[in-house]
Amino acid sequence: MPTPTPPLSSLPEVPMCEKTEDRDTNSSPPWAKIKLTPAEVEIERMILRNELKDAEVNYFCRVEPILQDGPQCGLVALAMASQEYRKPVAVSHLLAEARVRGFTQHGEVYSVDFMATLAAEYLPDHRPDVMVDLQQYPDALSHALAHGAMVLIPYDSDFNHAPCLKRGHKAHWALLVGLISSRQGYHVLARHGKSRHLACWPLRDLIESNGNLEEEGATRHAGGYVIPKGGVGGQRGLRGRALALRPYT
């Protein structure tokens, strides 16, 4: 089960990674003795980079990155989520299963419902909960994360992989693994298949990008993609929808 990370301490005036071996321990500030994990150091840097005031990490689940090979971003995101188990599922296994079920040809997944079916099969200790109308209920995502869920969410990916508005032509999947609250509002921490680094995005930008997913891009893989009935923006597609993976308690 994901173990919520306690809020990180307020940022000090000196670098967090400054060596402390030669210091007088009686005069060292409290944070000088704190050893952060690489992920926590990365989060601290993102908080600084985004100038998040009074930031607190409300939730964080440590997940190792997996890079995608081809249009497998959704399957990669699900494979990363499966790291909560002793025997995580391989992307190749998910791809084979998705093909058998008629969900994909090349690794693409254009339906949140398809993803929920795979999650129910391979993440038995998590309850897949399809979330809808995210633009109408924007607090649903922050609530799910704050209560220990990971979230699989489709969005349009810009050149730097941040959320953008391309009507679904750059559709991509991310796994939300953390939530930061600050004076600037909520930011989410995400893993996705095109980077080894954690991403940090304003939650409102991600929700807006998710809500603009209307159609697949004109440049399609040879042989085409599997598009659910009703299209990318339909009731079984991607627009306004996400998948919360809630741990059973």
Task: Please report the pLDDT score of residue 222 as a whole number.
Answer: 59
**Is residue 151 predicted with pLDDT exceeding 90?**
yes
Are 154 and 242 in contact by the 8 Å Cβ rule? The answer is yes
Sign of CA dihedral 202, 174, 102, 222: positive
Q: Share the mean pLDDT of the chain.
A: 86
Are 151 and 2 in contact by the 8 Å Cβ rule? The answer is no
How far is residue 86's CA from residue 102's CA, in Å, rounded to a whole number? 28
Query: Hey, what domains does the chain have and what are their CATH numbers?
Result: 58-247 (3.90.70.10)
Could you confirm whether 73 is annotated as catalytic? yes
If one counts every other C-beta atom within 10 angstroms of the C-beta of residue 45, the result is: 14
**Is residue 86 predicted with pLDDT exceeding 90?**
no
Q: What is the mean pLDDT of residues 191-210?
A: 97
Percentage of residues in the chain with pLDDT exceeding 70? Answer: 84
Query: Of 33-47, 71-85, 219-233, which one has max mean pLDDT?
Result: 71-85
CA 2 to chain centre: 14
**Is residue 10 predicted with pLDDT exceeding 70?**
no
Question: What's the whole-model pTM score?
Answer: 0.84
Task: Identify the active-site residue in 17, 61, 73, 164.
Answer: 73
Q: What is the mean pLDDT of residues 203-212?
A: 98
pLDDT band with cut points at 50, 70 and 90 for residue 248: confident
Top pLDDT among 8 and 189 is at 189
For residue 26, count CB atoms less than 10 angstroms from its CB and return exposed for 0-12, middle for 13-18, buried for 19 or more: exposed
**Is residue 58 predicted with pLDDT exceeding 80?**
yes
Q: Closest by alpha carbon to 235, among 152, 135, 130?
A: 130
> pLDDT tens across 11-57, in order?
333 222 222 233 344 544 443 444 667 778 889 999 999 999 999 99
* Region of residue 230 (phi > 0: left; psi between -120 and 50: alpha; otherwise: beta): left
**Is residue 116 predicted with pLDDT exceeding 80?**
yes
**Is residue 168 predicted with pLDDT exceeding 60?**
yes
Q: Which residues contact 80 (CB under 8 A, 6 or more apart)?
A: 63, 64, 65, 66, 175, 191
